[in-house]
A and B are shown apart, each in its own frame.
Chain A
Amino acid sequence: MMNQTAIVTGASEGLGKSLAIEIASRGINLVLVALPLSGLPELASFIRKNFEVKVNFLEIDLTDAESYPSIFEYLRVQQITAGMLVNNAGVGNWSWFEDMNIGFYKKQIELNVITPVLLTRLFLAQANADATSYILNVGSLGGLFVVPKKQVYGATKSFIRYFTKCLQLELHELNVKISLLSPGGINTKPELLVMNNKLKGISKATIMEPGDVARIAIDGLLKGKKEIIPGWINRLLVVLNSLLPAGVKDIMIRRRLASVIES
Chain B
Amino acid sequence: MKVLVTGATGFIGRQLTFALAQQGYEVKALCRNTDHPYLVKHKNIEPVTGNILYRQSLGRAMQGCQQVYHTAAMAKMWCRNPDDYHETNVTGTRNVLEIAADTGVKKIVYTSTCGVWGPTIKYPMNEDDPRIAGFPIAYERTKYLAELEAGKFAKQGMHIVTVNPSRVYGEGPVTDSNTVGKMVSAYLKGKWRFIPGSGEQVANYAFLTDVVNGHLAAMDKGASGERYILGGEDISFNDFFNTVSQVSGRKQRMFHLPLKTIEVYSHIEKLKAHLTGLRPFFLPEFAERLKYDQKYSSDKAITRLGYHITPFAEGIDKTVKYIIQY
Contacts and interface: CB of A to CB of B under 8 A. Distances in A.
Contacts of B144: 190, 193
A45 B125 CA distance: 11
A190 B145 contact: yes
A209 B136 contact: yes
Given A190-B144, A190-B148, A194-B86, A46 B130 contact: yes
A186 B135 CA distance: 11
B145 A50 contact: no
Nearest to B127: A42
Contact of A211 (B86, B129, B134, B148): B134
A188 B130 contact: no
Contacts of B145: 190, 193-194
A196 to B, nearest CB: 10
A49 interface: yes
B122 interface: yes
Contacts of A8: none
A197 B136 CA distance: 10
B141 interface: yes
B78 to A, nearest CB: 15
A243 to B, nearest CB: 30
A85 B226 CA distance: 36
Nearest to A186: B134
Nearest to B82: A197
Given A42-B129, A188-B134, A211-B134, A197 B141 contact: yes
Nearest to B145: A190
B134 A209 contact: yes
Given A190-B145, A193-B141, A46 B129 contact: yes
Interface string A174-193: 00000000000011101001
A51 B121 contact: yes
* Interface residue SS majority, chain B: loop
Interface in B101-147: 121-123, 125, 128-130, 132-136, 138, 141, 144-145
A62 interface: no
Nearest to A24: B121
Interface string A102-128: 000000000000000000000000000
B133 A209 contact: yes
A50 B130 contact: no
Contacts of B130: 17, 39, 42-43, 46
Contacts of A188: 134
Q: Which residue, of B125, B138, B141, B144, has the highest number of chain A Cβ atoms within 10 A?
A: B141
A17 B134 CA distance: 10
Nearest to A211: B133
A49 B136 contact: no
Interface string A55-83: 00000000000000000000000000000
A7 B138 CA distance: 33
8 smallest beta-carbon distances between A and B, as pairs: A209-B134, A50-B121, A50-B122, A187-B134, A42-B128, A43-B130, A210-B134, A46-B129
27 contacts: A18-B132, A18-B134, A21-B132, A42-B128, A42-B129, A42-B130, A43-B130, A46-B130, A46-B132, A50-B123, A51-B122, A186-B134, A187-B135, A188-B134, A190-B144, A190-B145, A190-B148, A193-B144, A193-B145, A194-B145, A197-B141, A209-B134, A209-B136, A210-B133, A210-B134, A211-B133, A211-B134
Interface of A: 17-18, 21, 39, 42-43, 45-46, 49-51, 186-188, 190, 193-194, 197, 209-211
Given A187-B134, A209-B134, 15 more contacts: A18-B132, A18-B134, A21-B132, A42-B129, A42-B130, A45-B128, A49-B122, A50-B121, A50-B123, A51-B121, A190-B148, A197-B138, A197-B141, A209-B136, A211-B134
Interface of B: 82, 86, 121-123, 125, 128-130, 132-136, 138, 141, 144-145, 148
